[in-house]
Amino acid sequence: MELNSRVPSGPLDKKWSNHRFANKLVNPANRRKYSVIVVGTGLAGASASATLAEQGYQVKTFCIQDSPRRAHSIAAQGGINAAKNYQNDGDSIHRLFYDTIKGGDFRAREANVYRLAEISNQIIDQCVAQGVPFAREYGGTLANRSFGGAQVSRTFYARGQTGQQLLLGAYGALSRQIRSGRVQMFARREMMDVVVVDGRARGITVRNIMTGEIESHAADAVILATGGYGNVYFLSTNAMASNVTAAWRAHKRGAGFANPSFVQIHPTCIPVHGDYQSKLTLMSESLRNDGRVWVPKNKDDKRRPADIPESDRDYYLENKYPSFGNLVPRDVASRNAKEQCDQGKGVGTTGLAVYLDFADAIKRDGRETIWKKYGNLFQMYEKITASDPMAEPMMIYPAVHYTMGGLWVDYDLMTTIPGLFAIGECNFSDHGANRLGASALMQGLADGYFIIATSVAHYLGTSKFEKVSEHEGSFIDSRRWVEDRIARILRNSVGGTAGKCTVDEIHKELGRLMWDNCGMARNRQGLEAALAELPRIRETFWNRVYLPGSNKEINQSLERAGRVADFLEFADVMIRDALAREESCGCHLREESQTEENEAKRDDANYSHVSVWEHRGEGEEPLMHKEPLVFEFVTPTQRSYK
């Protein structure tokens, strides 16, 4: 597997413009002769589909939900970063770049991150032009707030529904192209395979969720915008249908998978409260702007929070990190919450929660101001927990949220399969070992609106394409492979339910194994034990899972089973990746590698690289390759938020 990052030469702030000039173009009149497939309609997929169609390509877009408007980007609450420096508080493109690369604990590519910071300003302009109703100051200018890991106010927001509003903007642009006929939209399709012809991605195989039909779709290039794999843990803040299948099938067809163990555990989520629970709900990080995080100083203090006097409270983030306080990056906040709970200071019925308290903010700013800022989040919290954050502190605990790992891509966002691109959360590109808040929306839209069209033009402009037919060769093979696999999943359902188990039972077992051993803190012993345990769970799945219904109808159990089958394979490479990285960095805390103050201790001499995994066939151990990370413009330092 060859890893050529194709990072352009030249000074950091000229790389992107040099690259755009060096890349080949496709003449506007010729673009209609090319077809491009986009899988996924979140921020990355919807914006890419719209932009490519506007430029004249024929686009076929696929989504798993009933409408492209429902992709999980919609759930992002807090905001989107940009280096506008509208607040005149010292921000710049270089500072956003530096904060992002430092926040990622120096495990991302400099050139990619700089480009992201550079494009961030155009995104805000574009979204405003579309009519996205961002929050405004009374004078009519755009409002900003601050987010974790930054000391400037650069986050643009639309109440607590920023993801929704940005996605509806992109969905509007996509809808306009559907109306014009330049995008053909296929909803309720699940991608099952990438079709590779002569070493290049030339199409996909999908399952029509409404009929069970397996369909082939050919094109000249394929773009995956299929999101992250947080649901490998069963419980996460992801939507129920978020899965690894598309990325995993691409991996099995030859796409390298980068840093699969890099998973962001978000610090402010509603704690787990029962084994019937289907998902965890995130409370926006923006709450940490005004909420103070604390636990009782003494273990097993069972008093109600209001009855615990100031002197018996430990505002541990403010005490430990005076300069960033409650606004430390997510990985630091999460790890510290776990540490407090491990010491027995956790609160709530399970002891796995800490307080996020607004009492001081309400005293300082008044009820109305705080309600205006966070009212919709408070309502959401109250609906779930029946407790009012205006009256008593919220209880929060970290939960799996975002995956920094993903398909390896070069500077053009192309995977190791020529013609197969990956954008948004499903690639690994910009966040290193930890993503800063309000940067996911920025990356999704940067990739989709402003980067991918340049990459696609270059690829199409430098390649010659033979016509491929959906009725022959690799397309038939791929369909047959998908059909066989579905038949195998359904095999156990013959002969009743005795001795069988359900898909969810197996998914929950996998989730517990991953959370316990490959979650917020990892060590060799636990990871090795988990790796040894995986084959047993996989075997249970293939020999005992019972699925009602057939493949020729709407069958939601079958949909889930297919995804769980892939999570069970994927978990293996995740654990291997966590084992191989014997340093701590960002989200990845190897207990063997900590500073004296229990902070993550990086090992730049040995691990300043992206780990990229190659699939070598069923039953074979995957092979790890390294893309060295070279820092020309910043000097990696031990992160400090004190």
Measured CA to CA in angstroms, residue 362 lies from 160, 295, 376 at distances of 19, 19, 16
Q: Mask 183-212, x = binds another protein (CB under 8 A)?
A: --x-x----------------------x--
Orientation of helix 15-22 relative to helix 110-130, angle to 10°: 80
CB nearer another protein, residue 183 or residue 574: 183
CB nearer another protein, residue 50 or residue 518: 50
User: Does 508 help bind another protein (rule: CB under 8 A)?
Assistant: no
Facing residues of 60 across strands? 37, 184
With CB under 8 A as the rule, give the number of residues binding another protein: 84
Nearest approach in angstroms of CB 129 to another protein is 4
Residue 495 CB partners (closer than 8 Å, separation 6+)? none
Cα distance between the two ends of the chain: 41
Nearest approach in angstroms of CB 556 to another protein is 6
Among 1, 25, 75, 390, binds another protein (CB under 8 A): 75
**Closest Cα partner for 36 from 184, 178, 177?**
184
User: Does 494 help bind another protein (rule: CB under 8 A)?
Assistant: no
Nearest approach in angstroms of CB 26 to another protein is 16
The residue from 330, 479, 590, 602 that is catalytic is 330
Nearest approach in angstroms of CB 114 to another protein is 20
Nearest approach in angstroms of CB 547 to another protein is 8
User: Does 65 help bind another protein (rule: CB under 8 A)?
Assistant: yes
**Closest Cα partner for 113 from 153, 86, 83?**
83
3-state secondary structure at position 80: strand
Among 106, 546, 567, 613, binds another protein (CB under 8 A): 546
Residue 330 appears among annotated catalytic residues: yes
CB 433 within 8 A of CB 262: yes
User: Does 272 help bind another protein (rule: CB under 8 A)?
Assistant: no
Which range, of 215-223, 497-505, 563-571, 595-603, touches another protein by CB under 8 A?
A: 497-505
Nearest approach in angstroms of CB 529 to another protein is 28
Among 384, 532, 623, 630, binds another protein (CB under 8 A): 384
Burial, 551: exposed, middle or buried (Cβ in 10 Å; 0-12, 13-18, 19+)?
Answer: middle
By CB under 8 A, the residues from 5 to 64 that bind another protein are: 47, 50-51, 54
3-state secondary structure at position 452: helix
Q: Mask 560-599, x = binds another protein (CB under 8 A)?
A: ----------------------------------------
Nearest approach in angstroms of CB 20 to another protein is 12
Q: Dihedral sign, CA of 255, 578, 593, 516? A: positive
Among 15, 19, 69, 507, binds another protein (CB under 8 A): 69
Burial, 65: exposed, middle or buried (Cβ in 10 Å; 0-12, 13-18, 19+)?
Answer: middle
User: Does 484 help bind another protein (rule: CB under 8 A)?
Assistant: no
Facing residues of 399 across strands? 266
Q: What is the DSSP string of 505-570?
A: HHHHHHHHHHHHHSSSSB-HHHHHHHHHHHHHHHHHHHHHB---S-SSS--HHHHHHHHHHHHHHH
Q: Residues 100-119, buried b or exposed e (16+ Cβ, 10 A)?
A: bbbbbbbbbbbbbbbbbbbb
Which range, of 17-25, 235-243, 305-313, 587-595, touches another protein by CB under 8 A?
A: 235-243
Phi-psi region of 2 (alpha: psi -120 to 50; beta: other; left: phi over 0): beta
By CB under 8 A, the residues from 427 to 456 that bind another protein are: 449-450, 453
User: Does 365 help bind another protein (rule: CB under 8 A)?
Assistant: no
By CB under 8 A, the residues from 162 to 181 that bind another protein are: 163-165, 168, 171-173, 175-176, 178-179
Among 15, 60, 70, 602, binds another protein (CB under 8 A): 70
**Closest Cα partner for 454 from 11, 10, 18?**
18
By CB under 8 A, the residues from 96 to 125 that bind another protein are: 122, 124-125
**Closest Cα partner for 408 from 592, 615, 583?**
615
Q: Compute, in degrees rounded to 10, the torsion defined by CA atoms 239, 240, 244, 247.
A: -60
User: Does 540 help bind another protein (rule: CB under 8 A)?
Assistant: no
Among 11, 139, 617, 619, binds another protein (CB under 8 A): 139
Among 133, 366, 499, 535, binds another protein (CB under 8 A): 133
Among 221, 235, 239, 420, binds another protein (CB under 8 A): 239
CB nearer another protein, residue 138 or residue 628: 138
Note the helical H segments in 35-152: 43-55, 93-103, 110-130
Sheet with 609-614: strands ordered across: 406-407, 257-258, 609-614, 623-628
Among 74, 191, 244, 451, binds another protein (CB under 8 A): 74
CB nearer another protein, residue 163 or residue 267: 163
Nearest approach in angstroms of CB 270 to another protein is 10
Residue position matching structure tokens 């398909």: 407
Among 14, 136, 491, 642, binds another protein (CB under 8 A): 136
Among 28, 140, 617, 619, binds another protein (CB under 8 A): 140
Phi and psi, residue 201, nearest 5°: -70, 125
Nearest approach in angstroms of CB 518 to another protein is 24
Measured CA to CA in angstroms, residue 448 lies from 222, 424, 428 at distances of 13, 8, 15
Nearest approach in angstroms of CB 309 to another protein is 25
- Residues with a catalytic annotation lie at 330
